[in-house]
Structure formats: C-alpha cells, structure tokens
Amino acid sequence: MLNKYIIVTGGAGFIGSHACKALQQAGFVPVTFDNLVTGWQDAVKFGPFERGDLLCRADIDRVFEKYTPVAVMHFAAFSQVGESMQKPGLYWQNNVMGSLNLIQAAVDHGCMDFVFSSTCATYGDQDNVVLDEHSEQHPINAYGASKQAVENILSDFGAAYGLNSVIFRYFNVAGADPDGMVGEFHQPETHLIPLILNAIDGKRDALTIFGTDYDTPDGTCIRDYVHVCDLVDAHVLGLKWLQSGHGSRVFNLGTGDGFSVRQVIDQAKHVTNRPVPVTHGARRPGDCTKLVSGSLRAKTELGWSADRSNLKQMITDAWRWHQNGGYIK
C-alpha cells in the first residue's frame, strides 16, 4: 500500500502537531513543513520533518517533489491579533504571500485537495450574534483580514483550476493531547489558558485581564473555546470529505457556548486548586467583545462532535501538559 503523504504546514506548532498525530492515527503520513520560527522540533513525532519557509517557493517545490502528497493541511501563520495591528505588513507578507506560494505550488504539482486553517477573526466584532458560515465577514485586524484574503485566493483557484478546499473558521483553541505527547507551548505566550497556568505556578507575576468594561455580564470578553483534539479531528474529517469527492466547503468549529475571561479563571482555580494572581489593563486594539460559533454544518455534514470541548476538560488537559514542562524542560 502506498503511503498517503499529507503536507502539514506549521506541523511543529500547537495545532499542527496535534493534527499530525490525528493524521497518523487515521492512516496518513504527515510531513511537517515548518521554519521553526514559532514551532518546536520536539513537537515533530508523527512523520517526516522538512524545514522550509513558505516565502521561498523552492523550499515548497522540494517537498512536493520528494513526497508527491495527496493533500495539504495548512496551519502555518502568524496569529497574534495585537501584533497584527502594530505590524500589518508582516501579516500580509507572511500569511498571504506565503499561502499564495503554497496554493500555487499545490496546483502546479497536481495536489488538488487543500484543508485550510482559517479563523473566526474574519467575522470581526459582531456582538450578541451566534456566528455561522453565512455571517458577513468584516475583519477588524490584519490577522483576520489576512486569513480572509487566503480564503478568497482558495475560492479563485477553485474556480480557475478546480482546487478543492475545506476551510475551517474556528474559535479559541485550548487543551492538550491527553497522552501528553504534544501540547501548547509558545514563547512568548499569548493564549489565555497557558497564561493563567503560568500565573498559577509562578512563571509570571500575574495574569493581566485586558479590559473589564465590555458589555458582558462580568465585563470581560467572551470567547467560544474548542479542545485542540476535537479541532484536529474535524480537520481529518475535512480531509476525508475531500478525498471522498466532495467539493469545497466552509465550516465553523466551536461549541456554540461562550465563556468570559473571568469564567475561565474561575474554572482554572477549581481544576488546579490554586489561586490565580490577576492585574487589570486597558482593552487591546482589535479585541472583540463576544465571539461565539454556530457549528451545525460541521456536525451534520462532517459528523463532527466536540466531545472534549468543555472548560473543565480543556483546562485539565492543559494543566497536565503544563506540569510536564512543555518543550523546554
């Protein structure tokens, strides 16, 4: 039986590494393509590793020629909202130009199934609305705008060349591999749950809550959290959707339930049985008040379910990984 190679860009990162494990378990061979700017060599455990940069077409062509992949799963991107507001050119160059190089290479090499990691940030700030795939896209930061641009590129390449794509717009990703093989580890850390856990065990002085005057019950932002293992399961289902001959499709991934920053803090206190030192800061530019998903399409068409995506489970799995020390012991 021939190996079914899947190029996984950003496969050394948080979500990409979990996707590689899920792909291996599903019978594929994930080929991690990563420049290790934000990823970790130690996260590459489930298939070959190829170091390269999406801004270098020769790097991309080399990997396509070596493996003849049946599909691409594209996670690699800069993803910090605040940074994207301060350095928009960086995000347009890296996220858009890098993706365009990859998409063009896929078509040139006859690899016509493409799974793309997009974001709910393409919807912008639409408060008190459960966002579904038909919601209008009005990104309010360069990160969301760059992801929407890649979605448009995929649509254009589908019309022109027949490239089939599944686009996942997802919400806040949390948790870690329950087996402890991979997990969430960034330097610098920007995600809420690991920041809370760092504050709990003294790796930072305190957690800063950015904005306490939002129009929410407790004044802090509300987000829809999805467990990383549930998220990557959806990506494998999306790949199989394409491999089965279905056409291009957009899916939201979330639970439909939102939790405020303070609710996440309270649950972390409960799971760890430790206090969370907190300070308060001003709102960050580009942050929305409330982002909550409607994911009926993923459930009904892909058969996806978010079984681990409750706040207690996500924090429990993240805490187990956190206590293990991440990739730097």
Contact (Cβ atoms closer than 8 angstroms) between residue 52 and residue 25:
no
Tens digit of each residue's pLDDT (9 = 90 or more) over 65-107: 999 999 999 999 988 877 888 999 999 999 999 999 999 999 9
R_g (Cα) of the chain, nearest Å:
19
Whether the per-residue pLDDT at 187 is higher than 90: the answer is no
Nearest to 171 by CA among 115, 214, 228: 228
Q: To which H or E segment does residue 173 belong?
A: strand 172-174
- Catalytic-residue membership of 123: no
Catalytic residue among 67, 91, 143, 170: 143
At 49, is the secondary structure helix, strand, or coil?
strand
In tens, the pLDDT along 111-158 reads 999 999 999 889 887 766 778 899 999 998 999 999 999 999 999 999
pLDDT of 50 > 70? The answer is yes
Q: What is the pTM of this model?
A: 0.93
Domain count, the chain: 2
The per-residue pLDDT for 257 is 85
Q: Is residue 299 part of a domain?
A: yes
Please indicate, yes or no, if residue 179 is contained in any of the structural domains: no
What is the C-alpha separation between 56 and 54, in angstroms, rounded?
Answer: 5
Are 208 and 81 part of one and the same domain? no
- DSSP secondary structure letter of residue 300: I
Q: Which residue has the tokens 């801004």?
A: 55
Residues 247, 294: Cα–Cα separation, whole Å: 21
Whether 184 maps to a domain, the answer reads: no
User: What phi, psi does 8 have (nearest 5°)?
Assistant: -115, 100
Q: 45 with 161, same domain?
A: yes
Q: Which domain holds residue 275?
A: 192-223+256-324
* The pLDDT of residue 329: 45
pLDDT score, position 127: 67
CATH of the domain at 206: 3.90.25.10
Is residue 62 one of the residues assigned to a domain?
yes
Residues 230 and 260 in one domain: no
Last residue of a domain, one of 213, 233, 253: 253
